[in-house]
Amino acid sequence: MEILNRVARHNYFIVEELECGIELTGTEVKSIREGKCQIRDSYAVIKKGQLYLLNMFVAPYKEGNIFNHQETRTRRLLAHKKEILKLNDKVKLQGYTLIPLKMYFNDRNRAKVLIGICKGKNVVDKRETEKERSIKREIDKATKNR
């Protein structure tokens, strides 16, 4: 199961990517495996040397009991200390934002989040990106029809 954040590629320039683990409860894992997760509005922050993911929506597990998880709780991301320090420097000094691009389970069935180190786009940048995409589509169409 792979959950993508398509809005992130539209709203941000992605400078670098980092794969992190994520700390989840049992019902969250089951709900994510069913595909009932949304990372569109979420972002990552660094607090006290730890990396956290905020605003990630995970629907309650339908067969869970009273100990089911909260839908949008803060979840800790697992990364090496050097990676977190490098991210902290980029966020604090250069004004980048940490956005989750993709969430998936690897071959060992561990939940992973692909974090993008991003710079925000303005309206003009979005128009240029859209124009480049449409030109590329036209070129691909023309070469395909030959």
Q: What is the pLDDT of residues 28-53, one digit of tens each?
A: 888 888 888 899 989 999 999 899 99
pLDDT in the model for residue 50: 93
Q: What is residue 83's predicted lDDT score, i.e. its pLDDT? A: 93
**How many Cβ atoms are within 10 Å of 135's Cβ, its own excluded?**
10
Domains belonging to the chain, first-starting first, are 2-121 (2.40.280.10)
Q: Which residue has the higher pLDDT, 64 or 130?
A: 130
pLDDT band at 66 (very low <50, low <70, confident <90, very high): confident
pTM of the model: 0.82
Q: Tens of pLDDT along 70-123? A: 888 899 999 999 999 999 998 888 889 999 999 999 999 999 999 999 988 888
Residue 129 makes CB contacts below 8 A (sequence gap 6+) with 10, 121
